[in-house]
Amino acid sequence: MTQNEKVLATFQTRVRQMILRFQELKKENTDLYAMVEEGEERIKQLEAKLAQQERDYQSLKMARMMEITDGDLDGAKERVAKMIREVNKCIDVLMDEK
């Protein structure tokens, strides 16, 4: 085998090794992208669940505030009046910003 043939054989071997390594890295990259997509999907699901839980909590909090018993009618009226005042303050602030 001549020197040129040895160099050519070495070069071919290196090219094959690079191709194999490229294929390995390409597969790894594909797997990593799939993992990222799964993670993002899981995050979206958890964010949606969190938003629903926050809405449920706000509804329960409002229901609790609005809960009226015979002995707590005056307290409930005061809470409703307070909420109305807070809403009016928010409206005033928004109107001032325009």
CA dist 37 and 39 (Å) reads: 5
Give, as one character, the DSSP assignment of residue 82: H
Which positions ≥6 away from 67 have C-beta within 8 Å? 76
Contact indicator for 41, 27 with CB cutoff of 8 Å: no
Each residue of 6-39: pLDDT tens digit? Answer: 999 999 999 999 999 999 999 999 999 999 999 9
SS3 71: helix
> pLDDT tens, 83-97?
899 998 888 888 877
- pTM comes to 0.52
Residue type, 44: K
- For 9, other C-beta atoms within 10 Å of its C-beta total 11
